[in-house]
Amino acid sequence: MFLNNKRLEIEGGKFLEGNINISGAKNSALVLMAASILSKGQINLFNVPQISDVLVMSKILIAMGMDIKSNANQLKIKTEKISPPSQDLFFDLFNSLRVSFFCIGPLLARFGKAKIPLPGGCLIGSRPIDEHINSLKKLGVIFKLKKNYLIAEVITPSKRLLGSSINFSCKSVGATETLIMAASLAKGKTILKNVAQEPEIIDLAKMLNLMGARILGAGSECITIEGVESLKGCDFRVMPDRIEAGTFLIAAAITRSKISLSQCEPNHLEEVIKKLELCGCKFKYSKNLITIIPNKILNSVNITTSPFPGFPTDLQAPFMALMTTAHGTSQIKESVFENRMHHVNELNSMGANISVKDNIATVVGVKKLEGRLVMGSDLRATAALAIAGLSADGKTIVKGLEYLERGYEDFSAKLQKIGAVISKK
């Protein structure tokens, strides 16, 4: 049963050609906005994607008392009047956006207390917050759970977080980002081991260092933070969105089309490019530009998702859509989330041949997909169905457009520009 009327309509089978400009990274921009809580000056963020998740995060920060001005892809954030959220009116905003939970680190660092609803977002697995909580406890925080809220308070005599040595039990991007932000204003040194190494973490450390933080080692497995008394404002440009770039590379491959991406960082996509090359795609590079040239016949390739620099879980669904049209049989193993294959049934309804057992999808390539009415269940699954529709015979209608708009800026307009027959309804 479809619960809303927002949809994409796609006439498949069109050859694409041209250039797509990659937007700022969703997964970086949202955390940088949370990090602005730490500042006592003005944060000017550039290259911020115009997506619904950014709008929700802006509403959350404004509800805390921040002054936010938006102009195209720029945000001006003033934090002088900020106060920690404590009222139930914040529940719906926080609960709709999982990354809003990461505000807990900067709130504790700046105010010594926080009351945060338990995180919501896409239903792709449990995504536990144990790593965040256990690590913050080592900085001097106690927690209470009241109804659907997590109440946190710094219990050190000075009400200031204290630096500590923390060894994460797993490579959690969210926990790494939360602890980097919290430790930036902690007293003393914090050493984080077994941290996530995603480029978005490097982006966060760069901005915090511009604000006056002392962070070393971002991008490695060990990060050292020397806490400072306060942080100032800064100007910062959000990195390009590697997941959007990967999505459009896969769109080019599934339509066997030559396209170029500008404002793109190939170093963030090494594993994705490697797999696409194994399929039969060629690449050309120039400054801030990458061009993909697929063969007419692509071969099946196995993938296993893993933390950076491995194959990103956020591109598992789009890559599976590509494999449905490849020659041979591939296996796609999802090792990051336990519930991220809702797109399988929808792809099968379009004529794909996919079976799943123990979080491993076996994909037997078919000659052609057929346009159908399909429903996206999360952000990346919806993107995967749209990509499948680009190559399918006939019309594909993709419901669940609100998921897509959480993470892709002008998705349909960018594809229209290079020849896709796609429209929002």
Residues involved in catalysis: 122
Question: Distance between CA 283 and CA 351 in Å, rounded?
Answer: 30
Question: Distance between CA 376 and CA 356 in Å, rounded?
Answer: 18
CB 36 within 8 A of CB 60: no
Q: What is residue 404's three-state secondary structure?
A: helix
Extract the tokens encoding 159: 């009400």
Q: What is residue 391's three-state secondary structure?
A: helix
- DSSP category for residue 99: G
Instruction: Residue 209: name the closest of 226, 189, 187 by CA.
Output: 226
Question: Distance between CA 164 and CA 11 in Å, rounded?
Answer: 56
Phi and psi of 207, rounded to 5°? -65, -45
Extract the tokens encoding 47: 């290259």
Laid out side by side, the sheet with 329-333 consists of 303-304, 329-333, 360-364, 353-357
Other C-beta atoms closer than 10 Å to the C-beta of 281 total 21
Q: What is residue 4's three-state secondary structure?
A: coil
Other C-beta atoms closer than 10 Å to the C-beta of 258 total 18
**H-helix or E-strand spanning residue 415:** helix 411-417
Laid out side by side, the sheet with 141-146 consists of 113-117, 149-154, 141-146
CB 172 within 8 A of CB 196: yes
Extract the tokens encoding 356: 């799943």
